Structure 1
Amino acid sequence: MAHHETCTDPRHHVHTGDAFVAQVERACEQRGLRLTPLRASALRLIADADRPLKAYDLLDRMKATHEGAAPPTVYRALDFLLEHGFIHKLSSINAFVGCHHPGGAQHAVPFLICDRCHAATELEDEQIVGALDARARALGFTPRAQTLEVHGLCADCAAHPDGD
């Protein structure tokens, strides 16, 4: 995975683009899913990006190797990767990042997003996710999905307020 996409729980973290794609390939094989060349290409580009990647940036990068790449094909690839938990969508910035443990079950992961450098950190904290779920259920609400995105400055950007 890229430098800026960090994870707070490295126990089952995928560290390189090659390892990431290989783990998704294994997960697809185990689940009986079809990782088409276009889906694999989108996955690789997301894994190799140094920041969350917007769909049209992904499309521009895919056109270099896939002549027929068009918005509908890219969105279908993203939908597949999202549906099966291989990537996460950061709704507040409309961008995508690879899941740091794509072989596992789908899960809710809060993100810390730097407003300056656009680093996205998976805040793998079961207590936060559990507290949100429990509070929702206490109010009679049945959660189906959870998205929590916290914006601010990462440690590097906060240490260099002038961007130096």
Structure 2
Amino acid sequence: MKAATPLARDHDHAHCVSDALARAETVCAQRGGRLTDNRRRVLELVWRSHAPVGAYEILEALRKYGAAAAPPTVYRALDFLMEQGLVHRIESRNAFAGCPQPEQHHVAQYLLCEGCGDAVEIEVGGLARRIANRAAEIGFIVAAQTVEARGLCRRCQQTAPA
């Protein structure tokens, strides 16, 4: 059975956030990482919205909750969360999204809705490997891969003018 994605009608967002935080605790414990209170708060803020969140949006939200945060603090937390595979950077938006499969090291592939801003991570079997193999054939060494497809989610398609 497939898990409900944020773009699905039956998505339970509160469960989604709590599940992501619980998985983060497990992943960090297994990998020897320390999920500090600040890192946990940053991760929770990323997961509160399925639209990618920018570092300064996170900073503003932390300050609203009374945290004495500065940009370097947020960026350090985001760097840690990316290293642990808990968030991915959405290059085209200079923002961050939570990873629904942090237990597996993988290349993030995203569907980005231009209507509502939601981002959904998908897995296209073998795509990252095929890109790396083709690059190697022409003598190119891939340092990082980002796959982002833009369009409209089902909800936005239904509300878009004809």
Q: TM-score, with normalisation over the residues of structure 1?
A: 0.84
Mapping of residues 2-81 of structure 1, within 5 Å? 4=6, 16-81=16-81
User: Alpha-carbon deviations, 1:24-81, whole Å to 9, x = none?
Assistant: 1111111111111100100111112242111111111111334311111111111111
Give the C-alpha shift of residue 131 in structure 1: 2.1
What 5-or-longer segments of structure 1 have no aligned partner? 7-14
Give the C-alpha shift of residue 3 in structure 1: 6.2
Residue 101 of structure 2 aligns with an amino acid whose one-letter code is H
What 5-or-longer segments of structure 2 have no aligned partner? 9-14
Contact persistence 1:112–1:150 (CA under 8 A): yes
Residue 145 of structure 1 aligns with an amino acid whose one-letter code is A
Aligned length: 154
Q: Which of 1 and 2 has higher RCO (CA within 8 Å, sep 6+)?
A: 1
Please state whether the residue corresponding to 1:126 is helix, strand or coil. coil
User: Alpha-carbon deviations, 1:3-32, whole Å to 9, x = none?
Assistant: 6367xxxxxxxx621111111111111111
Alignment CA distance shift 1:39-1:5 (3 Å): farther
RMSD: 2.2
Please state whether the residue corresponding to 1:92 is helix, strand or coil. helix
Give the C-alpha shift of residue 130 in structure 1: 2.4
CA distance in 1, matches of 2:130, 2:71: 38
User: Alpha-carbon deviations, 1:79-106, whole Å to 9, x = none?
Assistant: 111122110110101111100111222x
CA distance in 2, matches of 1:101, 1:78: 17
Residue 75 of structure 2 aligns with an amino acid whose one-letter code is Y
Identity %: 39
Contact persistence 2:33–2:84 (CA under 8 A): no
Please state whether the residue corresponding to 1:74 is helix, strand or coil. helix
Please state whether the residue corresponding to 2:38 is helix, strand or coil. helix
CA distance in 1, matches of 2:132, 2:87: 21
Q: TM-score, with normalisation over the residues of structure 2?
A: 0.85
CA distance in 2, matches of 1:87, 1:113: 15
